Structures are given as C-alpha cells and as structure tokens.
Amino acid sequence: MELKRLNSDVISKIRSSFNVSNVAQCVFELICNSLDAKASSVAVRVNLISFKIQIADNGEGITKGNMELIGLRYMTNKCRTLKEFQKQLNTYGYRGESLASIIENSIKVSISSRSTGSSETFIKTMGKDVNIEVKTTKFRPSIGTTVTVFGFMSNIPVRQKRVIDEIELEGVKKCLENLIIINPMTSFSLRNDATGLLLLKSPKNADIIGSFRSLHQDINDSFELLKVSKHKVTIEGLFHKDFSLSKKYQYIYVNKRPVNSPKLQNHILKLFQKKYFAQNHPIYETKKYPMYVFHIRCPSSIVDILSNSIKSEVEFQSWDVIMACTDKILNTFLGLNEQKIEKMSLYSPEEVSCGVSKVFGAVQGRAFKRKSDEAFEKENNVEKGKNSKTEKVLSPGTDPTQAYEIYDSGKDLVKPSEHKKIVSILRKPLEIKVNRESKIKKQKSYIETDLNQPYHTSEGLDKEFLYSKPNSNEIQGKNFLLDKFLRSAQISNDLDQVLKLVILMSVLKRSWNRILLLKKTLKII
C-alpha cells in the first residue's frame, strides 16, 4: 500500500483528543493560562448537563493584536526558541496546543478580554461553524479575561456519555486543590452551574502554609520549611510534624506543576520509617503517612512530564541528584545525622566493637542455654581437664541465670571477605523455667488410717472415719435382689406390677440401710 500524509483536520482531531481528554484537564489548562497572565483571582463554573465550562480571571488581559492570533495551534508568547525551552520555565504553558485542542473538542469557544491600559473589551468566538472575527464592546467593567466553552467533547460523544457527574466534579475539585497549594497569592472558587452550589472557595494567603490550612482546616500550623540546591536543582520541602491515615496530604510539584511520582513518595516514606522504626512509632505500626508539600525546580531539559487527567507523571534525566537532595532535606528535618553522632558518643569503643558485628546492616548475637545446678556440676566433672571449645562466661556464683556461651561451629567456615549484608530482626528469647522439687516436704493435711484395724470413739476420731466393710454374703444378697428386680421388670408388661415392684425395691433399700446402721451401732458398743 502507498504511504500518504494525513490531512491537517485529521491530525488536529487526533492530537486534540489526546492532549485534552476530560473536563478536569480542560479546566486545568484554562486556569494555567490565567495564572500565566498573573491573575490574583480565578472563578470556575462547570455545568455537566450542557458541558459548559467558564473560567474568569482578573489577569493582564489580551490585546487586540494577540486576540487575532489566539486559538491557533502552536501560538504562544511564553517560549519562542530552543534555548529558552532548555532553561527553567516560569510559566505553565509553552506548547501553544491546549487552547487549540479545547476548541477542536467543543462546539464553540468564546473569549472576552480587556487588557491593562485599555477601555475596550475584545470578544472572539471560535468553532467549526462559526465565523472567526474579533468584535469590540465596552460591557466589561475591569481588566481580565473570560473563556467560555460550549459543548465540550461534542466530537467524541462516546467519551461524553461515559462521564459520571460526581466523579468528574471531584476530579475538577482535586485539580483546583493542587493549584491552590502552590499559588497562595491567588484566590479560587468553584461553582456547579447545574445546581448553583459553591463546591470550593479559597481566599488569598500569605504563604503555602496558609493555603494548605485553608483547604485542610483540621491541620494545625506545625510545619517546617526547608530548602536545598544541587546542580541547578532546587527542592523546597514543607513538612508537618504529625501524621495522617491517608496520602491525601502529600503534594509534589515540578516547576509549580502538580505531578504524580510514586517512586519519590515511597522514598520519602522509607526515610520516615527509618527514623521511627527503632522507636515503634505509629507510622510503622498503623501505616500512618507523613504530610508534606514537595516542590522541585529544575531546567525543562532534564525533566519529562507526561500529562494526565488530574496529575502528570514525571521522569528525570538523573534521579540520583533528585534522591540526593531529597535525602539531605529529609535527614535535616528528621535529625538522622545528629542522632547518629549522639549514638556513637554514648558508648565506649570496647562496647561498640563487641556489640556491633562487622557484617553490614546486622547485629551480632550469641545463643545461651540455661542449666540447672545438677546439670552444671555433672558437666563440670566431665569436662574438667579437657580442652573444650566452650568458654565460661560467668561463674555460677556471680551469674544468677547460670548461662554459658555456646560455640558457633560455622564461624570458622566463613571468611571475613565473604560477609554479606544481612537484614533481620532479633527478638528477645523466652525465659526457660526449670521446676525443682522442694527439699522440705509439705505437711500433710489429712490423717492416714488403717482400714483393717477397728477404731473407737474414745480415741477422738470423727464419725466420718467410722464405717463397716460389708462381707461377701451381704454383697451377694444385694446383687440377688437387684437381679430379681430387673428380671421381673423385663418380663412383666403390666404397669401396675412394675410400680409395685419399684415400691417394693425402695422399701427393701431402706431396710438394708437400717440393717447397716444397726450393725455399725453394735460394733461401736
């Protein structure tokens, strides 16, 4: 098949659906244009029934000359040459594609703006079936720009029908929260035009701490701000002294653009766990997470940001520099370096050399076994005079536990150069208790008696110890009566006869007990 170049309309449609794919990203790109225009107030209105989006700001505005070119693809006033692109950009936009993609994905887009020093307001409406021309009016009372999008995602109806209002509004709200944190000098508001409800409002704040607390009013101001620089990379970290049960209080930015970096988040979490692991802190036991705002400034040539719906994925040319700066700023905040110096000064060189193994990352441990006095004396007699590899730690008189060191037979098989890094958790062994019979016999609480020897009341014994042992004839007689009763009950089916036999047996039993009692009385006399 012959290769052919795509038409410009097809190229524009493909790129538009890729660059701006949902409502949250459309709102984000329009707000970024307002922030680049140095706006101190931004108002957002969203109607997901008609897919109408409106962004109003009080920025510098757009002049008539720029209004003629606005909306065309690759038109921008923020980055013109490759040299400027490789430097650190101070603006959000630089490609000149976002507004053109929004226009391509909508029925029409209307822009009205009044620039600084001008009394006229210029209006431009762009769309497929709309005549593009700039009109002049005087109805706008102040400087700034208002962008209104009608029928967003109209050319991709399948994606438009799959929009869930609650989820999409939550994404727009999260998008504004990310921008509120890093732009404290700008006030924001978000309104749902379909219901008229005000979803979010943030006033101007003096710093990032104020903007953080305006969003999360349940968080106090126990923050610490740190800054570190290395090889044209500057990192500013704002860390809170408390912890949270979720990661929603973690914000990462690259050149003021919110990004999503699980790699950096996990690295920061490991540094916190390294600090609090030995102290059994709740951050390790209950999976609590630190709260922070992490802002990285670097040249655009060493970072690659992949746009996403709410946040953008980020990759750096050299992660080593980023991680080194992160380690430095976290170690300063957590005090890991100072803690290490203090620990080394608390112990003598002898204790340090004996307590810590040469194996990196491990602690040297010794096995002990507790022994009784008899086992100790027996072993002493057997091993006396022999060259044993077992060395005595303490004498039985000075060692209350009577513990002896067990020789490590595998110690000589490992060369010092073959030691590897071992990471393990040493637990305290359970106590081994040995039950010993007491040398002093306990006094018996009962009286031993001879059953064959008769007793008399004159000896002071209680009556409960006096009984008679029936002879064999009596036992045979009792068994005979019981056997007759059982046979008669099995043969007779008449209920009256059975009841009579039961009554008879009860009478015989009482008579038998009386005979035994009389026999006991006669013996006593």
Look at residues 203, 233, 249 and tell me which one is the last residue of a structural domain. Answer: 203
Rounded Cα gap, residues 353 and 341, in angstroms: 16
Q: What is the pLDDT of residue 6?
A: 67
Q: For the sheet containing 303-306, what is the strand order?
A: 223-230, 233-244, 289-297, 250-254, 257-260, 312-316, 303-306
**For the segment 101-149, what is each residue's pLDDT rounded down to a tens digit?**
888 889 999 999 998 888 889 999 988 777 678 888 877 778 999 999 9
Q: What is the pLDDT of residue 374?
A: 58
Q: What is the pLDDT of residue 504?
A: 81
Same domain, 50 and 199: yes
Rounded Cα gap, residues 86 and 83, in angstroms: 5
In a domain, 354, yes or no: no
Domain that holds residue 263: 218-346
Q: Is 360 exposed, middle or buried (0-12, 13-18, 19+ CB in 10 A)?
A: exposed
Same domain, 161 and 40: yes
Helix or strand holding residue 175 (H, E): helix 165-182
In a domain, 356, yes or no: no
From the first residue on, what is the mean pLDDT of each consecutive set of 10 residues in the chain (525 residues)?
67 62 89 91 95 94 87 73 63 75 89 88 85 78 91 87 90 93 94 93 92 89 89 90 88 91 90 70 67 90 72 83 91 69 39 42 51 57 51 45 48 48 50 54 48 47 47 68 65 63 80 80 68
Q: Are strands 257-260 and 312-316 parallel, antiparallel or unpaired?
A: parallel
**For the segment 471-500, what is each residue's pLDDT rounded down to a tens digit?**
566 677 777 777 766 666 555 555 667 677
Same domain, 63 and 178: yes
Same domain, 148 and 224: no
Task: Assess contact for 202 and 211: CB atoms under 8 A.
Answer: yes
| CATH code: domain of residue 4 | 3.30.565.10
Rounded Cα gap, residues 7 and 473, in angstroms: 125
Same domain, 326 and 461: no
Q: What is the pLDDT of residue 345?
A: 37
Give the residue carrying structure tokens 């004498």: 395
Look at residues 203, 235, 264 and tell me which one is the last residue of a structural domain. Answer: 203
Same domain, 60 and 146: yes
Whether this model's pTM surpasses 0.75: no
Same domain, 43 and 121: yes
Q: What is the pLDDT of residue 348?
A: 43
Rounded to a whole number of angstroms, the CA Rg of the chain reads 46
Same domain, 40 and 101: yes
**Residue 482 CB: number of other CB atoms within 10 A?**
13
Same domain, 136 and 19: yes
Number of domains in the chain: 4
Same domain, 302 and 394: no
Same domain, 333 and 380: no
In a domain, 355, yes or no: no
Rounded Cα gap, residues 211 and 229, in angstroms: 24
Task: Assess contact for 256 and 182: CB atoms under 8 A.
Answer: yes
CA distances from 478 to 365, 474, 487 (A): 75, 6, 15
Same domain, 379 and 287: no
Beta bridge partners of 238: 225, 293
